[in-house]
Structure 1
Amino acid sequence: MKKTFYSNGKLLITGEYLVLDGAKAFALPTKFGQNLNVEEGENQEFSWKSYNEDGTIWFQDTIPFSEIINPIIAATPSVKSTLITILNEAYKMQPAFINTSKGYQITTELSFPKKWGLGTSSTLINNIAQWLQIDAFELLKTSFGGSGYDIACAQNDSPITYQLQKGKSKVENIKFRPDFTDAIYFIYLNKKQNSKTAIANYQNNKAEDIEKSIITINKLTTEVLQAKAVTSFGHALEKHEAEMSYVLETSTVKESLFSDFNGQVKSLGAWGGDFVMVVSEVNPKTYFNSKGFNTILTYDEMILK
C-alpha cells in the first residue's frame, strides 16, 4: 500500500547563522514543499527516484539495504552518499524499517525547482521522520546538520520563531500578517548556495564577542515582528543586514548588487545565493528584470497563509 508524506519548504527571515548559537529567528513556511511516496519493493533494496517540479528526474539509483546498514564513507560527497547517511542514521533510530522489510520503492516530488534552495534536504529528512515515526530534529542533527529551523518550517503551517535553548528546539507559532505584505517580494538570485559550506565557514570564523550580536539580532527580530508600517519594517531589516554584514565581514547583498535600488533587500538564509526578500512600495519587477533577475514572487505566491 502506498504511503505519502509531505513537508513544507522554508525561508529564514531573521537570525541567519546566529540561530546556530541560540539567536531567536523568524522563519516562514512556504507554499512549496516535497512529497515522499513509499511503496513495498523487493530484493532487500531501495529503488529510489527523485522528481523535480517539472516531472524530470534529478536523482535515480538502487541502494541495497546492506549499504544502509554498513555504509562506506565516500571520498567525495554526492547525492547518493548523503542519502545513505540520512537512511543510516534513520536505521540507527528505527532498525525495524529495514530489518523487517523486503524492500522499498521510493519516489520524491518537489513542487519547486531544486535550485531555489527552499529545503530539498530538510523536507526529505522530515518526510522520512514522519514515515518512520522518529524525531526529525535528531535525524537532522546526526545526518545533515544545521539549526533545525527548516525542520520546524517543514512541520508547521504558520509563521514561527525558532530558537535553540541548551541544544533543544523551541518553536513558537506566531501571527504575521501585516497590512503591507503586498510590498514584500522574493527574488531568486540565479544561483544555489551550499548551506553546509556557508555554515562551516561561519563556525570556523565567528568572532569571540558573538553574544553581543545575538542580543542585537534578537532585538531586531522583535522589531521586525512588531512593525506596524512598511517603513519601520524595512528599517529593522536594514539594521539586521548591517549587523550580519559586520558578523560575516562581507558586504550586504544590496551593497554588492543593488546599491541603486529604492527599497530594502534582505538576504535570506546562507548569504550569497538562493532568495532575497525585497521590501518596496512600488512593484520592483522592472528593476530586477533589468538586472537579469526574472524569478520574482509576491508574498502571497510564496508564503503559506
Structure 2
Amino acid sequence: MEQNETRQTFYSNGKLLITGEYLVLEGALAFALPTKFGQNLKVEEGTGQLLHWTSYDSDGSIWFEDYISFDSIIQKERFVEEKSIRNTLIEILHEAYLVSPHFIKESHGYKITTELTFPKSWGLGTSSTLINNIAQWLQIDAYELLKNSFGGSGYDIACAQKKSGILYQLIDGKPVAEEVHFHPDFTNKIFFVYLNKKQNSKAAIASFYGKRGHHDQSIATINKLTQAVVSATGPGPFALALQQHEIEMSNVLELATIKEILFPDFNGTIKSLGAWGGDFVLSIAKDDPTAYFKSKGFPVVISYQEMILSQ
C-alpha cells in the first residue's frame, strides 16, 4: 500500500484456479496461482457525501463511471438491471459499511479510481481484486466481504493476497490457504490460452449447483489429483494428473472437455481453468503451441513466466 495525506493506493493480484474448480465450493482441495496481472484502487478525498467512482481497463479506457451517494450505500439501493455494475458495487460497499461504518460516517466524500493491469475480458479476477482492495482500504476481512456480497469459495481472495501458489480448501466452511512453492523446471512448457470470451462465474456456479448428486467420491479423487499436480517433478506426471482431472470434471459437470470440443488434434494436454467454457485454459506440450492456437483463432497465448507471479 502506498499512502500520503490525500491519496491511498492499494493493489491485489489476479488469479488462476489450476485444480479443484467447482468442487472447491464443496470442500475439495484446490491449487491456485496468483498472476502478475492485477488491479489498483486509489482513494482520494471528495465532497457532497458522494463516491465519484471511475474504473479503467488496462488500455486506459473507462469501463465504468458513476456517482454513488452515501445514502445509496447505507440503504443498499437497487437500480434497474442496466445498472447491474452499480448494483454490485453498492452491495459490496453496503456490506463493508455494516462492518466498518466509519468510512461513511466520518467522510465528506471520495474520489475512487480502479485500474486493471489486464484486459477486463480476461476474467483474472476483476471482482476479487476489487473486494480485496476495498477490504485493505477499510481494514476488514476480505473473505467475509466476499461471502456477504459476491459469494464464491474465496480462493481468489487468497491469490489476491499471496505472492506464491496456494493450496486452498474450505474446512467447515472456513478458508484455509497454504502457500506452496511451485516452480518446477518444466514451466517453460506451460502456456495459458484465452478462449475469446469471459465466463460469468456466478452463472457457472449456479449451473453447477443445479446438477444434482453427491460429489464425495469426486472430491476425494480431485484431492489426490491436486496433490499430484503440485508435487509433479516432470511434465509427464503433471500432464497426466491434469488430464485425469479433466475427465473427472467432465463426468461431474456432464460436459465435454475443451480439448474434445475445440482442440481434438492438439498434441499435448489442455486443462480448463475456473468456470468451464471461457476465460483461460492451460496447455502443456513438448513444443511452443502459440502457432497452433493462433491458427485455430485464439491469438492470446501467454507463457507461464509472463502470467504467473513467483517469489
Secondary structure of the equivalent of 1:294?
A: coil
User: Alpha-carbon deviations, 1:86-117, whole Å to 9, x = none?
Assistant: 00000001001001100000000000000000
In the TM superposition, residue 75 of structure 1 has moved relative to its aligned partner by 5.1
The answer to whether the 8 Å contact 2:103/2:138 transfers is yes
1:164 aligned onto 2:170: yes
In structure 1, which of residues 94, 104, 109 is the aligned counterpart of residue 100 of structure 2?
Answer: 94
- C-alpha contact (below 8 Å) 1:206/1:248 kept by paired residues: no
In the other structure, the counterpart of 1:108 is 114
Give the TM-score normalised by the residue count of structure 2.
0.97
Residue 130 of structure 1: CA displacement? 0.2
1:122 is matched with 128
Do structure 1's residue 26 and structure 2's residue 31 form an aligned pair?
yes
Deviation at 1:204, TM superposition (A): 1.8
Select which of 276, 284, 292 maps to 1:279.
284
1:253 maps to: 258
- Code of the residue aligned with 2:204 in structure 1: it is A
Q: What is the TM-score with the length of structure 1 in the denominator?
A: 0.99
Instruction: Tell me by how many angstroms 1:203 deviates.
Output: 1.2
Residue matched to 2:205: 199
Paired with 2:69 and 2:47, the residues of 1 have a C-alpha distance of 10
State whether residues 206 and 247 of structure 1, in contact with CA within 8 Å, keep that contact through their aligned partners in structure 2: no
Overall identity of the aligned pairs, in %: 62
State the aligned residue count.
304
1:269 counterpart residue number: 274
What does 1:28-43 correspond to in 2, within 5 Å? 28-43=33-48
Partners of 1:220 and 1:115 lie apart in 2 by 29
User: The residue matched to 1:173 in structure 2 has which SS?
Assistant: strand
Q: Which segment is superposed worse, 171-180 or 197-206?
A: 197-206
2:238, 2:76 → 1: CA distance?
48
Q: Distance in 2 between matches of 1:135 and 1:104?
A: 21
- State the Cα distance separating 1:286 from its structure 2 match: 1.0
Task: Return the letter of the residue paired with 2:159.
Answer: C
- Aligned with residue 237 of structure 2, among 232, 236, 255: 232
Q: Unaligned 5+ residue runs, structure 2?
A: 1-5
Q: Distance in 1 between matches of 2:243 and 2:140?
A: 39
Q: What secondary structure is seen at the aligned counterpart in 2 of 1:43?
A: coil
Aligned partner (choices 219, 226, 230) of residue 224 of structure 2: 219
CA contact (8 A) 2:77 2:90 kept: no
Amino acid in structure 1 at the alignment position of 2:87: S
Aligned-pair Cα RMSD in Å: 0.8
CA shift digits 1:168-223 (9 cap, x unpaired) = 10000001011100000000000000000000111121412x01000000000011
> Contact 1:137/1:148 (CA < 8 Å) preserved in 2?
yes
2:17 counterpart residue number: 12
Which letter does structure 2 place at the counterpart of 1:213? S
Say if 2:57 and 2:120, in contact at 8 Å, map to a contact too.
yes
For structure 1, the residue ranges without an aligned partner over 5 or more in a row are none
- C-alpha separation between the residues in 2 aligned to 1:38 and 1:217? 41
Q: In the alignment, is the contact (CA less than 8 A) between 1:8 and 1:153 conserved in 2?
A: yes
Question: In structure 2, what residue type is equivalent to 1:230?
Answer: P
Structure 1 counterpart of 2:309, one-letter code: L
AA partner of residue 217 (structure 2): K
Deviates more, 1:123-132 or 1:75-84: 75-84
Instruction: Please give the alpha-carbon distance, in whole angstroms, between the structure 1 residues aligned to 2:101 and 2:206.
Output: 30
